[in-house]
A and B are shown apart, each in its own frame.
Chain A
């Protein structure tokens, strides 16, 4: 292939990607607008939302607590490894609590849930799309937004921040127990350090992050599921794309929210 032909291919490829991106942005906006239009139909989405919230909340609780606990424990153990004695021991409490509440709790929880909830939503809706169940709902004059999208999105907005609270608690608790195993830190030292730099805003900040992450996970996965094409292969593709796209967006949002809320 000549260099000229190669450059032409690259231009085509870039052009296709840009057009694809614009097309997705447009369709995603329509999708969100549709979902908002379904909000007044509370009698339809409320009962379904409760079922979804129960499913994703109870189903994810154990894995979220487990992973956050390990993250808290490792943070504490590494802090212990780096402490040489010149820094007061109570600082370890500050480090563990701040790391977990400000960053590890919300971000790790969101990344786990993008795999667990995001993949589930995309696969469920994708299967419904390729088996014409979504078409069937539309053919009955019913809104797929209020029957399928809103229950999932609202359940995510409620349960993902709630799971983040559990993740924060288990991370801090595991860190506390672990640090006691490697450093001569008393409970009083740890609590003093945890409280010394702690601001109530930190908890809100953690929840604000979780709220945005919930939006990223639920809307992207529902959108990808809704736009599934080409049978089983399409369902697999939508599911993978939903997890990858929501994970990347979580990391981008993490930077943006941190910049806006902590470095004003």
Chain B
């Protein structure tokens, strides 16, 4: 379970998160919505301890993330797979080495036979062909392929939680749909608890069990897609309005 209580984060004079309360139950897939620049990625980085809050608590799997020491934090992170917005692949390593780094157990990482099998399996899980991509470098991949390799790296260590930071941003609608389907399928097949940061309402409705809307540093609403559709909250309505009018969303 992921639980954030009263999280505050300031960068200089700008308050990005202003008392955020946010909860994700085990096995859920929650989409964190909000306009660009509202601090969704910042909130996600708090969950994995890449950013420390100025106030409030972040409890993941019973651990207070902001108070873990270095070693405990490294161990804790091994239970989380993080998919970065632009893939964040190591550009001097090929795809095989990138995904292999996701195998967090040091013994398994050094067991070449296991690593090869696991990397191949993860590459297949994200609908890529190992023969084609394993020896390629990130610069030789398309945007969609980079995102998928990023997902393969995140799942290689068999994490309990998966955090996706804008997995479909910068992709054309066809590739965005492929990634959405992939996220949904992985969540079902691997049984992980997922948080997906996105400003793509359509994708969020397709993938998530629950939604949360972050606006002006606070969670405005958390609920099921149906509850969002029925909500009278003006901020929720304003955010959804554009996509309601879109015929592809209605479909």
Q: Is the CB of B78 within 8 A of A141?
A: yes
Q: Does any Cβ of B come within 8 Å of A187's Cβ?
A: no
Q: Does any Cβ of A come within 8 Å of B235's Cβ?
A: no
Q: Is the CB of A136 within 8 A of B88?
A: yes
Q: Does any Cβ of B come within 8 Å of A259's Cβ?
A: no
Q: Mark A58-80, 1 if CB is under 8 A from B, else 0.
A: 00000000000000000000000
Chain A residues with CB below 8 A from B46, complex form: none
Q: Is the CB of B50 within 8 A of A43?
A: no
Chain B residues with CB below 8 A from A138, complex form: 50, 77
Which residue of chain B has the shortest Cβ distance to A127 in the bound complex? B91
Q: Which of A99-148 contact B (CB under 8 A)?
A: 128, 131-133, 135-143
Chain A residues with CB below 8 A from B91, complex form: 131, 133
Total interface residues on B, CB under 8 Å, equals: 24
Q: Is the CB of A43 within 8 A of B110?
A: yes
A136: contacting residue among B70, B76, B78, B84, CB under 8 A: B84
Chain A residues with CB below 8 A from B140, complex form: none
Q: Does any Cβ of A come within 8 Å of B34's Cβ?
A: no
Chain A residues with CB below 8 A from B86, complex form: 131-132
Distance (whole angstroms) from the CB of A244 to the closest CB of chain B: 26
Question: CA of A13 to CA of B89 in the docked complex: distance in angstroms?
Answer: 40
> Given the interface contacts A139-B50, A141-B74, A141-B78, does A133 sit within 8 Å of B101 by beta carbon?
no
Q: Is the CB of A140 within 8 A of B88?
A: no
Question: CA of A141 to CA of B85 in the docked complex: distance in angstroms?
Answer: 19
Q: Is the CB of A133 within 8 A of B50?
A: no
Shortest Cβ-Cβ A-B pairs, 5 listed: A136-B88, A141-B77, A132-B88, A139-B82, A141-B78
In the assembled complex, 30 residue pairs joining A and B whose CB atoms fall closer than 8 Å, in A order, are A37-B70, A43-B110, A128-B90, A131-B86, A131-B91, A132-B84, A132-B85, A132-B86, A133-B90, A133-B91, A135-B45, A135-B50, A136-B84, A136-B89, A136-B90, A136-B153, A137-B90, A139-B50, A139-B77, A139-B82, A140-B77, A140-B78, A140-B101, A140-B102, A140-B104, A141-B76, A141-B77, A141-B104, A142-B104, A143-B74
Name A residues whose Cβ lies closer than 8 Å to a Cβ of B: 37, 43, 128, 131-133, 135-143
